[in-house]
A and B are shown apart, each in its own frame.
Chain A
Amino acid sequence: MSTTLERPTRPSLLARLENPKAVIGLVLLMWLPLTLYVMAPRLLGSLHDVVLLPAIPATLLLYTLAVRAFRGSTVAVIGLSLVFFWLLMAVSAPYLPLIDPNRPIAPFTPPLTEARDHFFWLGTDMRGRDLLSRAIWGCQRVLVWGVTATTVAYVIGTTFGLVAGYFAGWWDEVISFASNVLLSFPVMVLFIVILTYLGPSGLNIIVAVTVASAPAIMRIVRGLTLDIKTRDYVFAAQTRGEHPIYVMLIELLPNVRGPIIVDACLRLGYTTVAITTLTFLGLGLQPPDPDWGLMIREAARSAMLWQFSYMLLVPALAVSSLILGFNLMADGLRELSLRD
């Protein structure tokens, strides 16, 4: 039963921001600088040092909006908090009083100890670099490459899914066949093959993630499209002679978005795992810049000794918390979507 309760209109800032345009604006304000900062730092030139400053309030505002929107589900709020914690760390890393993550100071310093005039909350690794600083800086690359790769996979998967579902027939036959071929490879094998062939780099990670995820996304979208295209409103659009592209973008796409958003949260988690694993295997992003996968890789040898296990635990916990955040968000969203 749907009940629409009229809320008294308070023209507060938050209320005014609760419309799609403002939210998209905020997301861009947060995301574009971060992406440029991580992917193409040279392009920014002298702006490099200040470009992330406006992203900090944007992230905080988005977090508040998100919590307001999903306050009905505790699970979703916990997930959001975890994800936004790392987002905030990513955009504010340059302005936090952190030690340079690449500067070797005092090797093998355990957590909560002081060495060479520096206090190390989480200790240092075998080269003497601050783990706290590296963990915080490291989330930038995982987040940016992970989200970008997932987005690209979604754009491609959704496009093919809409075409296969809406046109059916031969289109469907060809697209589904191709996706079945790709789906028949184990994901990790596919990743490794693509990255060894193309060489390790951020862009190639995007290619690999797209090739591995787009078929599954295409299947979801195709299934939803097959169902939705039989609705009368699609029929109505057809009877007024709308172009197929209009029907797909305006009539179909907005109505497949619900399940897709939930799936996207889950898939962000998988992609994070994949990227971290690839970096761990040496197939992803390259040293020396901090990255969780790299940190685990480098710590793997030293952490054989129990007393140095913190080197492994710090990046491992960081990865887990982010993935947990994505998964809880997906659960919460699904719970909320089932409720109404």
Chain B
Amino acid sequence: MTTPILECENLAISYFTRAGEIPAVIDFNLEVMPGEAVGLVGESGCGKSTVALAIMRYLGRNGRIVGGAIRFKGEDLVTASEERLRQLRGGEIAMVYQEPMASLNPALTIGRQLVEVPLHHETIDEAGARARAEAMLERVRLPDAKRLMAAYPHQLSGGQQQRVGIAMALLSNPSLLLLDEPTTALDVTVEAGIVDLIREISTEFGTSLLYISHNLGLILETCQRLTVMYSGEAVEVGSVAQVFDAMRHPYTRGLFNSIPLPGADKNARPLMPIRGQLPLPHERPDGCNFAPRCDYFQAGTCDHGTIAMAAVAGDEGHYSRCRRFAEIDWEAAAPKRKEAAAAPLGRKVLEVAALKKYYRLQDRSLMALLRGREARFVKANEKIDFDACEAETVAIVGESGCGKSTLAKVLMGLEQATSGQALLDNQDIANLPVQQRDQAMVGYLQMVFQNPFDTLNPSHTVGAQIARVVRKFGVAKDKAEIEARVLELLDTVKLPRDFYHRLPRQLSGGQKQRVGIARAFAGEPKVVVADEPVSALDVSVQAAVTQLLMDIQREHRTTLLVISHDLSLVRYLADRVVVMYLGHVVEQGATQDVFSPPYHPYTEALLSAVPIADTRIKKKRIVLEGDLPSALNPPSGCPFQTRCPRKLGRICETEAPPWREFPGGHGIACHIAPEDLAEMEPVIAQA
């Protein structure tokens, strides 16, 4: 039997703070064999990053390994000397971090930083190291390596930076590569490219991988085996097929139930969130840590003692930390169909027609004024057309830089459109700044924000912040009435009433987002713009917040404008989808029409890039080349022509594509003939 590259045995890690010992990881076992890619999945706070740091022995001043062993090729890392660790780090074990911009030194050129690795770990001269670095850049599919070597990190795009990070990690030929959420900060189409690269690494270099992620779909695409972590423990271990298709732990089941898979539909098969939240390390219950949130909890069985990992009978290499997994009917645990009538759509509430927003990019300094320099324009939105009805959910999809946030700003009155119209109940608001809108209209159109940690003012209580909105929009007048209304809103978003006096820092991310929703709905709005409402939340919380948003919407017949890059969520949530690219609408139509052929080539690429956590799904792989062009200098003709895999030729570069109508209000802006578009194969197919 070969020795594993990495072995964690009964690992326990604690942080020591003023408040005492915080056990971050209690009992963790892991084996990574040579050439194998192992995934580590869990939500934030479960201890997965702590494990990665412990393997590198980077725990910092107050973190300590309090029990168990970490063995690297049989050598104990817990007792290794600093000198030995320095040899191992970067040499034998390398790590790729989440934030590519933060992990590269902004003051040094890429070349300088890459050359350091072989110079430090091997006896090699400068020229040799340079040659190696350049070769490595080419192997991570970065064109023009010579030029890149002289560039500084800020001159590179996020995807390129992460490729440089991976190149740096691979330079000294490590036997183990740790990847801590390497694509979380990137756009989906860029992510797809990185994932492809990571897959090649294990085959081409024979490097073992430990891939840490919260995204089950990514694990499916990159790993052979995985460990699911919950509250400091590994709760389920097995091969991808075992865990994805025959999971034997209620938490894993819960995770899969709460992610929108292609079969999910908000009316037919709603998401099933895991109730409650992750226990704090010092508040873990006796017995099973998952017990308070588990549907299969049985008093007397699950609430005492320490629960050990147990092998799943007849399934080699599959373990679960559950006392009842043999008794649970796993087929019945899969989400059930629950028919709920789709809300009937009402009249048209919002009509956006030929909306255009250019930002004047102007040096506002005195010097520029004196020199009389020409202003340039950032073309953020170029001819946006769509409309939304009462009780309808319209999703605006696109990657960062496509102009979706600008669109939201124009609608909210923080920016004025350059031309075009946005009719809200037949009143044009495209050029009406928020200060000039009357109170009723401002309350009519509200917003839910993306980042839960930013959405609430840390200095004021939850109650005060919601009360301000209630008072501002004149929903209630006197003090008692306002307070009653705030408490009512807290009930609506399913938060306990004593949150009224809490400060935002005492709330979890999901709870903050609920307060954000309560605040948006406080003025009884007709239209709510939700900018990536759940993308910063954990999977199990995402489902609950999504569900909540839909329930409130159904109840109030609100029009919901969801801005998102998450196509799985959009498919689940939206009635209609508008796909944007570089300030243009490239495709729009009913959700099922957009998600099935004919596609716009960009939609096709987006769909193929979304990782799907379902082993039965077969996807066509399309990886886009290059980066998003700058909105300051957009390409001529079709905006997508620089990256389009189906580019026809000259016509795409010279002429703006025509809007091709398909039945059911489905439209695509493309030069490709409608017959050819109609012959496209579906990207996602059930196998």
Contacts and interface: CB of A to CB of B under 8 A. Distances in A.
Interface of A: 1-5, 72, 169-170, 173, 231-233, 235-236, 238-242, 250-251, 254-255, 257, 339
Given A1-B17, A232-B451, A239-B412, A254 B473 contact: no
B414 A235 contact: yes
The 7 closest A-B pairs by CB, nearest first: A254-B459, A232-B449, A232-B454, A233-B457, A239-B412, A232-B455, A241-B442
A251 B457 contact: yes
B476 to A, nearest CB: 15
Given A4-B506, A240-B473, A173 B365 contact: yes
A169 B473 contact: no
A241 B18 contact: no
A5 B454 contact: no
Contacts of A233: 454-457, 465
Interface residues of B, number: 41
Contacts of A250: 457, 460
Contacts of B455: 232-233, 236
A231 B15 contact: no
Contacts of A235: 414, 447, 449
B523 interface: yes
B473 A3 contact: no
15 contacts: A1-B17, A3-B19, A4-B506, A170-B364, A173-B366, A232-B451, A233-B457, A236-B516, A241-B435, A241-B437, A241-B439, A250-B457, A250-B460, A257-B459, A339-B18
B552 to A, nearest CB: 17
A173 B370 CA distance: 14
A169 B364 contact: yes
A255 B505 CA distance: 13
B510 interface: no
A72 B18 CA distance: 9
Interface string B367-407: 00000000000000000000000000000000000000000
A240 B449 CA distance: 13
A251 B516 CA distance: 15
B469 A255 contact: no
Chain B CB within 10 Å — which of A236, A254, A255 has the most?
A236
Contacts of A1: 15, 17, 22, 281
Contacts of B456: 233
B507 to A, nearest CB: 10
Contacts of B523: 240
Contacts of B435: 241
Given A1-B15, A173-B366, 18 more contacts: A1-B22, A1-B281, A2-B505, A3-B19, A3-B280, A173-B364, A232-B449, A235-B447, A236-B447, A236-B519, A239-B434, A239-B447, A240-B446, A240-B469, A240-B472, A241-B434, A241-B439, A255-B459
Contacts of B442: 239-241
Nearest to B502: A4
Contacts of B434: 238-241
Nearest to A242: B472
Contacts of B473: 240
A255 B15 CA distance: 29
B118 interface: no
A339 B519 CA distance: 31
Interface in B437-481: 437, 439, 442-443, 446-447, 449-451, 454-460, 465, 469, 472-473
Contacts of B472: 240-242
A231 to B, nearest CB: 5
B39 interface: no
B553 to A, nearest CB: 19
A250 B460 CA distance: 9
B147 interface: no
A165 to B, nearest CB: 15
Contacts of A2: 505-506
B523 to A, nearest CB: 7
Contacts of A239: 412-414, 434, 442, 446-447
Contact of B457 (A5, A240, A255, A257): A255
B282 interface: yes
B451 A5 contact: no
B170 to A, nearest CB: 33
A169 B368 CA distance: 13
Interface in B13-60: 15, 17-19, 22
A235 B449 CA distance: 9
Contacts of B364: 169-170, 173
Contacts of A232: 449-451, 454-455
Nearest to B17: A1
Contacts of A255: 457-459
